[in-house]
Amino acid sequence: MKVVLFGATGMVGQGVLRECLLDPSVENVLAVGRSPTGKRHAKLREIVHDNFLDYSAIRSQLAGYDACCFCLGVSSVGMSEQRYRHLTYDITLAAAKTLATLNPQMVFIYVTGAGTDSTEQGRVMWARVKGKTENDLLKLPFKAAYMFRPAGIQPLHGIRSKTGWVQAIYVGTAPLLTLLNRVAPKYMTTTEQVGRAMIKVARDGFPRPVLESEDINRV
């Protein structure tokens, strides 16, 4: 598989990148981000891009891919709905529409979160915005699209969150998270499990378009 990866510098994206580089079924990875990953690997190529609403300058380089793992995303904490919608909905749909046009055989995988509101009508702002993003991604003409809804994600293998308070929580509670991952897969997964599940679902599919934490851990 040839994989395009957005958000490779983030906590989830670093995990997906690690597993893609390790997995023999992934032939190469194109990381598209606003900053470089700092990694070197024979399978990895990177594009540093600055306008995530407009891909015309790099369009020709985005063709010929089998899968996209879209791990670019932000926390809504302290953000207005307008700003969160721009960073979540507008950026994701702009990238996905470009990729769907160029790669109709592509499998598109998006990371949302547990509690995402598919009705788009609920009271929780982030959940509504993620719900609308999921719903509109599922309407695009990809071969298939899958929505990953992890709850907690434990970073493994030295991976760090870009968000300071998230990283602090994960460091402070690491032993508890390891235990939770074992006894409560409904609430906890790891960067390794998310990465492996994305590769497997991109390659083999899944019976449903939405995967909750337990599904991610079982795949």
Ligand X SMILES: NC(=O)c1ccc[n+]([C@@H]2O[C@H](COP(=O)([O-])OP(=O)(O)OC[C@H]3O[C@@H](n4cnc5c(N)ncnc54)[C@H](OP(=O)(O)O)[C@@H]3O)[C@@H](O)[C@H]2O)c1
Instruction: Select 52 or 108, whichever has its Cβ closest to ligand X.
Output: 52
Minimal distance, residue 35 CB to ligand X, in Å: 4
- Positions in the binding site for ligand X (CB under 6 A): 7, 9-13, 33-35, 52, 71-74, 87, 111, 113, 150, 152-153, 161-163, 166
Burial class of residue 155 in the structure, from the number of CB atoms within 10 Å of its CB (0-12 exposed, 13-18 middle, 19+ buried):
buried
Q: CA 35, CA 8: separation in Å to the nearest integer? A: 9
Locate 110 and state its tokens.
């998006």
| 8 A C-beta contact, residue 198 and residue 5 | no
Minimal distance, residue 87 CB to ligand X, in Å: 5
Instruction: Select 106 or 109, whichever has its Cβ closest to ligand X.
Output: 109
Minimal distance, residue 214 CB to ligand X, in Å: 14
- Per-residue HEC secondary structure of 25-51 comes to CCCEEEEEECCCCCCCCCCEEEEECCC
Instruction: Select 152 or 195, whichever has its Cβ closest to ligand X.
Output: 152
Instruction: Select 24 or 87, whichever has its Cβ closest to ligand X.
Output: 87
